[in-house]
Structure 1
Amino acid sequence: MVPLNHGFFLVFVLFSLGISSLLIRGNLLFILISLEIMMNAVGLSFVLIGCYWAQIDGQIMYILIITTSAAEVSVGLIFLMKLYKKYNTLNVDVLSEMRE
C-alpha cells in the first residue's frame, strides 16, 4: 500500500501542474486540459482519504467527479469548436480583444 504522504505529494504535484498550466497557457484547449488535471488530482485525494479511513465514500466521490468532468468536457469541446469555427483561433488574448 502506498503511504498517504506519497499519495498527497502526487496530488500536490498534479494540482500545481494544472494551476501552472492554467495560468501560463493562452490556448482554451490547454486550459480545458488543465482543469481536467486539477479535477483528477482532487478525485485522487478523495480516493486516498477513503482508502486511509477504509471507506468506500472516496471512490463514490471519484465516480461523481469523473461524471461531472465528462459533462464539462463535452460542453467545453462544443464551445471550443464553435469559437474556432467563428474566429479561427483559440488564443484567449485574441478572443478577449474581439468585440462584436
Structure 2
Amino acid sequence: MIPLSWYLTLAAALFVIGLFGALARRNAVGVLMGVELILNAVNINLIAFWRYGNPMQLTGQLFSIFVIAVAAAEAAVGLALIIAIYRIRGTVNLDELDTLKG
C-alpha cells in the first residue's frame, strides 16, 4: 500500500506547478491550464484523505466529483470568454487586455 505522504507530495507538486502556471503565464489559455492543475491537486488530496480516513463514507468521492464538475464548467466558460475576447481584440495576451482601465 502506498503511504499517504506520497499522495500528498504528488498533490503539492501539482499544486505548485499549477500555481506557477497561473501566475507566470501571459497567455489566458495557459492560466486556465494552471487553474485546472490546481483543481486536480485538490482532487488527489480529497481522494487520498478519503482512502486513508474512513473509506466506508463516500464524502471524499462526492466532493471530488463536485470539483470535477466545477472544473468542467470553469473550463467551458473560460474558453468561451477567451474566444469572445479574441474575436474582439485579436489577442489572448493578458497584458494587452486593459479595456476596464480608466
Q: TM-score range by the shorter chain?
A: over 0.9
1:49 paired with 2:53, answer no
User: Which AA in structure 1 matches 2:76?
Assistant: S
Matches within 5 A, 1:1-80: 1-55=1-55, 56-80=58-82
* Root mean square deviation, CA, Å: 1.6
Which runs of no fewer than 5 residues in structure 2 stay unpaired? none
Cα distance in 2 for residues equivalent to 1:91 and 1:50? 39
The percent of aligned pairs where both chains have the same amino acid is 31
Cα distance in 2 for residues equivalent to 1:62 and 1:98? 35
User: Which AA in structure 2 matches 1:70?
Assistant: A
Cα distance in 2 for residues equivalent to 1:30 and 1:42? 19
1:93 paired with 2:72, answer no
Cα distance in 1 for residues equivalent to 2:43 and 2:7? 12
Bigger helix fraction = 1
Which runs of no fewer than 5 residues in structure 1 stay unpaired? none
C-alpha deviation, 1:96, in angstroms: 2.5
Displaced runs of 4 or more, over 4 A: 97-100
Write out per-residue CA displacement over residues 73-93 of structure 1, whole angstroms, 9 at most, x where no aligned residue.
Answer: 111111010001111100010
User: Which AA in structure 2 matches 1:65?
Assistant: V
TM-score calculated relative to the size of structure 1: 0.93
Aligned residues: 100
